[in-house]
Amino acid sequence: MQIKTVALSATLLSLALGAAFALHSNEQEREISNYQGTYTCSPEAIYDPSSIEEVQDIVQDALLRGKTVMTGNRKFASQIDAACAGDDQVQITLKNMNKIISFDANAKQVTVEAGMRFNDLNDFLRQQGYAINMVTELAIFTVGGMLGSGTHGSTLEKPSNMLADYVSELKVVDGKGEVRILNGDLLDAARVNLGVLGVVVEATLNLEDAFKVKAQVQGYDDDTGLEDIILDIARSNYSANIAWFPGLGRYTTTLYNPVPIETVGQAYNAQADVTDAEEFFFGLLFNAAHEWPGSGLQCLAAYARYNGRASSYFRDSVTGDKVDEPVGYSDQMQYFKCKDPNQCIWDRLPIALQEVAIEIERLPDWIRDVRQIVAAHPRTCFPLNGIYFRFGKASDSYLGMSAGRETAFVGIEYTLRQEGQKEPKNYFVNLEIEQMSLRKYDARPHWGKNSVAIFENMPSRFPKWPEFIQAKAELDPFNVFSNPFWQRASGDVSLDEYLTPGCNVRGECYCQEDEHCQEGTSCQEGLYFTEARICR
């Protein structure tokens, strides 16, 4: 009788949900995809709740019917399926939960719904004279998404470079559909939560007084000894971003330092303000670089990007003119916005990114090793932002990239062929660096930016992984919030299952046999880091 009652309750709740949220029935509305269009998921339904109570209803219905739940936008900012509930499962977006709940100037705290975009929050706070000065370089992410993946900026001066560490309290709907207020150990577990501890519906964030910064952009045409000074650069500035182009022997720095709030200047970061002509030129150049024999065009593209980063890319918010000595509010200076959140340049040019985090004191040796890898592959250039360095203090989060250790974040961007259907040129060089970072330098991959293959042995990379699993058992005892990405990252599904013909080119494996490689290549050891296995 109890089983019949539960089944009847589930049926009634499902019918009620269908009527309440008026789900669309066509296939397009039942799909979500990443920004590149390389991962598409087909959930049973996509819900857009407007209240915590509606989120509870959705989770309770999924629990009764044995479905899993994940939160993610219809177009999510990940290269893989980290935000997908899975086919025939239940997807939630929080696009309708994007409001400020409360603002307390005296306590210097703000509580927001998790669907609020970070730039909208900072626009509000700036008008009140406050800011959250963890500033990622792209501001259109939602607060909930930033907590899910551990989104970060670059600073060794502030308490943290991750938004997660400015959270004082989280409100979540747990795996039973109950509302929980998280603080203490559970909060530290949920700061970077991958969406697998529950639906984060509200976050209370600590603020500080708004301030202005002055940016200094400079290019260096000789990278000799960069490894000997890079940590000094990071530690002697409020915020430092460094783009290293080892194939060119050059690097650029963008440095930010505070100035008095009354300092004249209303500049903003305009690096995404690419004209149609510039975008067309880069599109032609990047595409040609893949097909042209040799690496000459790839290095030409790298020169173009080096020159673009070697001088100011800031503009005055009033006149729109370029500013050579830019001063502006810290948030607007450090992050950029796309003119249309759904039409950034990488939405039109197929761009991918590898990012890992290593212990900061090991960065000089890492650079020395990368020099050796590049030397073994002459004329290898990194045509977008070179190898990109950012920095952060140790985090209290259990699964943040900087959890428990001061960290250097290292990113390599590259362009794809045919919307991700073919490997980029010199991809084998990136893979040798990537595998060296993982296996020699105990790197931690970014949770959203990488390929499937990089998430090897994840539990061993985080000392508090067992505590995170305990938190999941408490908040999600029936595994309502477990998606395919989590199953891989946690080791519940072995990455060996992805060892299929051609898996290397799809980013699903590091080759072990020749059949894992694309046609015309074989699985070989790295030229410098011989523990790597590379299709070349």
The pLDDT of 361-373, averaged and rounded, is 98
Confidence of residue 90 (pLDDT cuts 50, 70, 90): very high
Residue ranges covered by each domain of the chain: 30-92, 100-209, 212-442
Model confidence at 37: pLDDT above 80: no
Model confidence at 16: pLDDT above 50: no
456 vs 445: CA distance, rounded Å = 9
Fold of 100-209: 3.30.465
146 vs 318: CA distance, rounded Å = 30
Confidence of residue 444 (pLDDT cuts 50, 70, 90): very high
Mean pLDDT is lowest, of 190-194, 200-204, 329-333, 422-426, for: 422-426
> What does the pLDDT read at residue 287?
74
> What does the pLDDT read at residue 345?
66
Model confidence at 347: pLDDT above 70: no
419 or 506, greater pLDDT: 506
H-helix segments, 39-136: 52-65, 118-128
381-393 pLDDT per residue, tens:
998 889 999 999 9
* Sheet with strand 199-206: strands edge to edge: 100-104, 109-113, 199-206, 167-173, 179-182
Confidence of residue 375 (pLDDT cuts 50, 70, 90): very high
> What does the pLDDT read at residue 11?
43
> What does the pLDDT read at residue 13?
45
> What does the pLDDT read at residue 298?
85
> What does the pLDDT read at residue 1?
35
483-522 pLDDT per residue, tens:
999 999 999 999 999 999 999 988 899 999 999 998 889 9
181-226 pLDDT per residue, tens:
999 999 999 999 999 999 999 999 999 999 999 999 999 999 999 9
Confidence of residue 341 (pLDDT cuts 50, 70, 90): low
250 vs 373: CA distance, rounded Å = 16
243 vs 383: CA distance, rounded Å = 11
Average pLDDT, the chain: 89
> What does the pLDDT read at residue 423?
67
> What does the pLDDT read at residue 39?
74
Model confidence at 58: pLDDT above 90: yes
Structure tokens at 420: 């991700």
Q: Which residues, listed in sequence order, are joined to residue 254 by a DSSP beta bridge?
A: 217, 241
Model confidence at 278: pLDDT above 90: no
Model confidence at 118: pLDDT above 80: yes
Q: So what's the architecture of 212-442 in CATH?
A: 3-Layer(aba) Sandwich (3.40)
The pLDDT of 102-123, averaged and rounded, is 96
138-182 pLDDT per residue, tens:
778 899 999 999 999 999 999 999 999 999 999 999 999 999 999
Model confidence at 407: pLDDT above 70: yes
> What does the pLDDT read at residue 424?
72
Confidence of residue 35 (pLDDT cuts 50, 70, 90): low
Confidence of residue 296 (pLDDT cuts 50, 70, 90): confident
Model confidence at 22: pLDDT above 80: no
Side chain identity, residue 321: D
> What does the pLDDT read at residue 85?
92
The pLDDT of 283-307, averaged and rounded, is 81
255 or 378, greater pLDDT: 255
Model confidence at 279: pLDDT above 80: no
Model confidence at 4: pLDDT above 50: no
* Sheet with strand 75-76: strands edge to edge: 40-41, 32-34, 75-76
Contact (CB, 8 A) for 130 and 105? yes
Contact (CB, 8 A) for 79 and 352? yes
The pLDDT of 41-52, averaged and rounded, is 94
Contact (CB, 8 A) for 490 and 458? yes
91 or 340, greater pLDDT: 91
459 vs 444: CA distance, rounded Å = 10
Confidence of residue 113 (pLDDT cuts 50, 70, 90): very high
Strands 40-41 and 387-392: unpaired
Model confidence at 457: pLDDT above 60: yes
> What does the pLDDT read at residue 44?
94
Model confidence at 31: pLDDT above 70: yes
Instruction: Tell me the CATH number of domain 30-92, given options 3.30.43.10, 3.20.190.10, 1.10.10.10, 3.30.1330.60.
Output: 3.30.43.10
Burial 305-341 (b: 16+ CB within 10 A, else e): bbebbbebbbbbeeeeeebeebbbbbbbbbbbbbeeb
Which distant-in-sequence residues (6+ apart) come within 8 Å of 51 by Cβ?
Answer: 97
> What does the pLDDT read at residue 342?
60
User: What does 262-285 look like in DSSP terms, one character per residue?
Assistant: TSS--EEE-TT---HHHHHHHHHH
Structure tokens at 50: 């407007």
The pLDDT of 412-432, averaged and rounded, is 76
* C-alpha distances out from residue 474 to 302, 465, 520, Å: 49, 14, 50
Model confidence at 400: pLDDT above 80: yes
> What does the pLDDT read at residue 5?
37
Confidence of residue 346 (pLDDT cuts 50, 70, 90): low
> What does the pLDDT read at residue 51?
98
